[in-house]
Amino acid sequence: MKALIVDDEPLARDRLRAMLGDIEGIDVVGEAGHGAEALEAAQRLAPDVVLLDIRMPGIDGLEAARHLAAFETPPAIVFCTAYGDHALEAFEANAVDYLLKPVRAERLRAALDKARRWSAQTSQTVERALGHAPARSHLCARVRGNLVLVPIDDVHYLLAEDKYVVVHHAKGEVLVEEPLKALEDEFGERFVRIHRNCLVARARLSGLTRDAEGRLLAAISGVDAPLEVSRRNLPGLRKLIRSL
């Protein structure tokens, strides 16, 4: 079973690597020091299990686990942390076990046994549970085989096209394979629907305009062309703009 170790403390990674070296059938294929690095390593190395710290700079372990759960073949997640107050969140974020540091050898072996038994049925259950987890700070896209992380703060608007959603952000645009409705449910406090196929960042709304044909358009800061507003979404949008 291929294992990836993720911890921002080198000594903690060294200790886990040494403990895993004593367990038959475990091959440590890589290490990472933070969440973004973990996602890139998992994409490249396809581990069966990720031993994941929670409190790390940038993308923490809980959010990294949510992104890992969206992989085509998600790995099992075993959290290894010094803090015991994240257990519920951990099991909502694709965890098969939750180990407190200093990790004991017998608990690590038991966790790896659980990871071996991790099944497609478990994956589906976890996917449903993720709907109750806190909103992510980034969206994860694949561009020419590489993972690209887009901070939610940088997103201007989300536009549904066929089975994809185009994320228009400060540095360009990327495609994500997530339903627009799911993104609205997760980030509803930060985005507003202006059309059946479009969500706009509330902080980017700068007003309403009307074109030569009489259509109402939403002006978005940082975006050259305004976006069409549907009649159905107009009343709520007007109310929101008046409150800004």
| Alpha carbon distance 93, 85 (integer Å) | 14
Q: What is the pLDDT of residues 173-218, one digit of tens each?
A: 999 988 999 999 999 899 999 999 999 999 999 999 998 888 899 9
pTM, two decimal places? 0.73
CATH ID of 2-132, from 3.30.1200.10, 3.40.50.2300, 1.10.3720.10, 2.60.40.10: 3.40.50.2300
pLDDT of residue 88: 67
pLDDT the model gives residue 123: 47
Per-residue confidence (pLDDT) for residue 146, from 0 to 100 = 84
Q: Find the mean pLDDT for residues 215-240.
A: 92
- What's the confidence (pLDDT) of residue 126? 46
Instruction: Parse the chain into domains and list their residue ranges.
Output: 2-132, 138-243
Three-state secondary-structure class, residue 100: strand
pLDDT digits (tens, 9 = 90+) for 36-91: 999 999 999 999 999 999 999 999 999 999 899 888 889 999 999 988 777 767 66
Q: Is the pLDDT of residue 120 over 80?
A: no
CA dist 37 → 58, 135, 172, 186 (Å)? 10, 20, 22, 24
Between the alpha carbon of residue 7 and those of residues 4, 76, 224, the distances in Å are 10, 16, 42
How much is the pLDDT for 152? 96
Closest Cα to residue 73, out of 118, 128, 140? 118
Q: What DSSP character marks residue 130? A: G
CATH code of the domain occupying 138-243: 2.40.50.1020
Q: pLDDT per residue over 121-173, tens digit each? A: 454 444 444 455 678 899 999 888 788 999 999 999 999 998 899 999 999 99
Question: Are the C-beta atoms of 33 and 8 separated by less than 8 Å?
Answer: yes
Q: Please give the residue that has the higher pLDDT: either 146 or 26.
A: 26
Q: CB–CB of 227/234 below 8 Å?
A: no
Q: What share of the chain is helix, strand, coil (3-state, %, to 5)?
A: 35, 30, 30
What are the pLDDT digits (tens) for 207-225?
Answer: 999 988 888 999 999 999 9
